A and B are shown apart, each in its own frame.
Chain A
Amino acid sequence: MLATRLGKDLLRNKWLYVLMLPVLLYYILFHYVPMYGAIIAFKQFIPSKGILGSEWVGLKHFESFFSSIYFFRVIKNTILLSFFNLLIGFPAPILLALLLNELKSSIFRRITQTITYMPHFITLVVVAGIIRYFTLSDGLLNDVIAFFGGERISFLQQPGSFRPIYIISEIWQQIGWGTIIYLAAISGIDQQQYEAAKIDGANKLQQITHITLPGMLPTIMIMLILALGNIMNVGFEKIILLYSASIYETADVISTYVYRKGILEFNYGYSAAVGLFNSVINFGILLLANYFSKRVSKNSLW
C-alpha cells in the first residue's frame, strides 16, 4: 500500500526529486557519513586506534559529567543565560526592523542600517577588550554612574552583573545584523495591502499590527523555533574572553566547563558525551517548539 503510493509519488514528482538529488548528496557525504563518530561519546577515544577501534566505556563519560559538583551550576547558568538572551535579544532586531521600516528618509534608513550592522564584523577578542575597558571600576560606564552619584562597581567581578553585560553586548553587536532577515520579510509584503488599509483609515500602529507583523510572522516563527533549538548553546568564545574565577558562579556554562576539562586531558569522548547531551535536549525542545508553532500559528519546519 505504502509502496505503491511511494512509487506513484516518485513517478509523478520525479523531476522534483532529481532537483533535490545534489542537496541530498551533500547531506549524506558531509553530514551522515561522518556521523558514526558520535559513538565516541561511549568510548575511550585514542586517535591511533581510530574511532571504531577505541575501547567501549559505556556511560562512563556521562556519569562523570553528571556527578561533577558543578553539574547543576553549569546547567543552570547555561539555561538562564540562554533564556534571558532569547527573551530580550530575540525581539530586539524585530523591533528595530519595524522602526527602520517606518523611517521616512530612505537615505537615513540606509545609513542607519549600514552602521548598526557593522559591530557584527568586529572579532570577539576586540569586542571583549572594549567591554572590559568600559566596565572597569574607573571605566566609562562607572564614570556615568559616578556622575549621577552612584557607587563605582567592578562589573566584571560581580556575579550579578555578568548576564546583563553579556546580553546587552550581544544585542549591541547583533541587532543590526539580525534585522536583515526581517527587512527581507517586510520587503516581501504586498504594498497594495497598505494602500487598502490607508483607504480604510488605519493608522500607523494598526498597519503594523495588522499587516506588517502578520507578514513577518512566518519568518519570526521559524527563527524562534530555530533559536529555541539552540537553547543549550551559548556564546562560548565570548564567555571565555570575559569571565574569571570570581564570576564562575553565574558565568561558568557547560561549554566553558568542558573546555577547562579539555585543557587538562584531551578527552574527546567526554566532550562528545556532553555535546550529545546538549543535542538531545536542544532537539527535544525544537520538536516541542515546532509542534506548538504548528498548532498555534500554522508555521512549522515539517
Chain B
Amino acid sequence: MAKWFNKKTVSKPVILLLSLTMLVAGCSNSNSSSNNESVVNSNSNNQTPAAFSYPMQGNAELSFMNEQLGGTPEVMPIDEEYEKRTGISIKHLGGTPMTDQKFSLLLASGELPDIFLNTWLQYPGGPDRAVEQGYILKLNDLIDQYAPNLKKTLQDNPDIDKMIKTDDGTYYAFPFIRSDAGRVYGGPIIRKDWLDELKLDIPQTIDEWHTVLTAFKEKKKASSPVTFRTMFLGERTGGFAGAFGVMGNFYVNDGKVVYGYLELEYKEYLRTMSQWYKEGLIDKDFASIDAATVDKKMSSGGSGATIGWQFYIEKYNAAAQETDPNANFVAAPYPAAVKGGLPEFGQLDNAYAGTSSAAISSTTKNVEAAIRWLDYAYSQEGSMLNTFGVEGVTYNLENGKPVYTDLVVNNPEGLGSDQVMLQYSHGTNFPMIQQDNNLPSKYPQTAEALGIWQKTNHESHLLPPVTPTAEEADEMSSIMNDINALVKEAELKIILGNESADNYDKYVQQMKDLGIERALEIQQAAYERYLKR
C-alpha cells in the first residue's frame, strides 16, 4: 500500500500549488495595470496643431477589435505599412460579433478596446443608446477637430452622411461604405456546360427556369436539379421570389414600408415553389441541408443550379473540374416575370449596412490617435493603400492608373491574387469608402457574376439603415421573435407539400395577431424620420 502514497510527497505539492496560485494571481494583476499605464503616457495634450501631418508623433498604441470571431490574426505587411504611415501602432485583440456572449462580457467588464469594429447599427436600442450608456463616444465634435478626411467625404457625399448618423444627428462610428460592386455578392449559379449540351439558353424567367430544371432532371438525371439552403430563399436574397415582385423581410414599396411575407404575391410564389418541389425540381432535402452538402451536390453533378455567394462559383468550378474538366459554373440573372423584364428583387446591401464600422470606446486614453488612425482610410493615399496595396510592391502607377505587379498577378509562390492582396490591403470589412480593385480572379465567370446579379429593381425597394428609438427597438424585437419562427415554418410546410398554399392566409392572419402591423408602424415612422435627416 505504501507505494501508492507517502504523506510527505503529496502534501508538499498541494501547499506549493496553493501558494503558487496566489503568486501568479498577484503577478498577472500587476502586469495588466502596468500595461495600461504605458498606453496612457502617449501624447495627451489636446491642442490641434495648425497643420497635422502623418505620421503622428508620440508613438501612440491603441487596442483594436473587430466582429469576426477568432483569435488575433497574424501581423500582415498592410498592418506594418499602416503603422509606418500613421505613426500609430495597433494591438489587435481578436474579435466578436455583437450577438456573441463575449460581446456583452466586454461591455460588462468595461474594457472595450480603443477601436471597436462592429455593427453598431444593431446595438439593442440603437447606436444612440450605446453612446448614452457610455460605451462609445459621440464623434461629432471629434470629427470636426481631428478627422478632416472623413469630414470632407461627408460634405461631398450627403447621401453617405445621411446613412451614417442617427435621427438626431449623432455620428457614432467611422463607417464601412461598400462600393457599388461590393454591395452585390450573391445570386443564382448554373452549369453552363449542361445548358450548352442541352441547347438551352441561360434561363431568364420563371418559366424558362422550369424548362431548364426539368431538362436537368430528365436528360441529365440530376437527382436535385436545383439545390440551396433556406437562407437564400427570399431571406438573404430574393431568390425566385423576386420574379413575383416580393421577397422576405422588410422593404419599401413606393415610400411605404412593407413586410414581404404579408403580400398576396408571396402566396403565389410559394404555390409555384411547392409545385416545383412536387415535380422533383428542387432538392428533396433542401430544408435541412448545410453548405457542405450543397457543395457536394453541385460539384458532383447531383445538382445543376443553386443560389449562393460569389466565391462559390470559384469553389464549384475548381472542385467539379477535378472529375469533369468540362464543368462550367456561371452566374445566372435573377429570374424575372417576363422575358426582358427586370425582377423586383435580387440581392443588394445598403452601401452602409452598418457592418465593420469603427466606434471609439469612451475609455480610450488617446482619442486623437484613434481618430487619426481611422481617418487615414478616408484620405487619398489611405484609400489607395486599402484598395491596391503598397505602391512599388503590389502595384505601379502607369499613366496615373494602378497596374498590379507580378507579385499579385503571377505570384512566385503560387498564391492567388486575392490571397496576396489580403496581406497588402484592406479589400473589405474595414472602415473606409470601398473602391473596386479590379483584381483578376482565377475564373472569369466569378468576376462576371456581379454585373449579372446587379440587374434588378432591388435599389428602389431598399430600406435604408433606419434607427428606431430605443423603446421602439425593444418592442420590435419582442414582436418579431415569434413571427420570424412562424413565417419560416409556414413557408417550408407549404413548399414541402405538408400544407396547401391556400393555408398561407391563415398564417398571415396569425402574424397580424402577433402584432406585425405595429412592427410595420414602427418601421414606417423610423423610415420617415430617416428621409427627413
Contacts and interface: CB of A to CB of B under 8 A. Distances in A.
- Whether A and B touch directly in their complex, counting CB atoms under 8 A apart, is answered as yes
A260 B99 contact: no
Contacts, number: 95
B493 A129 contact: no
Interface in A152-189: 152, 154, 156-157
Contacts of B133: 46-49
Contacts of B108: 47, 50
Interface residues of A, number: 38
Contacts of A257: 485
A268 B104 contact: yes
A132 B107 contact: no
A156 B288 contact: yes
A63 to B, nearest CB: 11
Interface string A241-261: 010111111001000010011
Interface string A227-238: 000000000000
Interface residues on B, range: 35 or more
Chain A interface SS verdict (over half): helix
B173 interface: no
Chain B interface SS verdict (over half): helix
Interface stretch (B153-161, B289-297, B338-346): B289-297
Contact of B285 (A46, A136, A249): A136
B288 A157 contact: yes
Interface stretch (A64-72, A84-92, A272-280): A64-72
B293 A136 contact: yes
Given A48-B133, A156-B285, A156-B288, A246 B496 contact: yes
Given A69-B482, A262-B99, A48 B135 contact: yes
Contact of A64 (B289, B478, B496): B478
Contacts of B292: 129
Contacts of A293: none
B221 interface: no
A160 B404 CA distance: 57
Given A154-B285, A154-B288, A246 B492 contact: yes
A292 interface: no
Task: Name the residue among B292, B482, B491 with the largest chain A CB count within 10 angstroms.
Answer: B482
Nearest to B483: A69
Interface of A: 46-50, 64, 68-70, 128-129, 132-133, 136-138, 152, 154, 156-157, 242, 244-249, 252, 257, 260-268
Interface of B: 98-99, 103-104, 107-108, 110, 124, 133-135, 223, 230, 284-285, 287-290, 292-293, 302, 473-474, 477-478, 480-482, 484-486, 488-489, 491-493, 496, 514
13 contacts: A46-B133, A69-B482, A70-B482, A132-B288, A132-B290, A242-B288, A244-B287, A245-B492, A246-B492, A264-B477, A265-B124, A267-B477, A268-B104
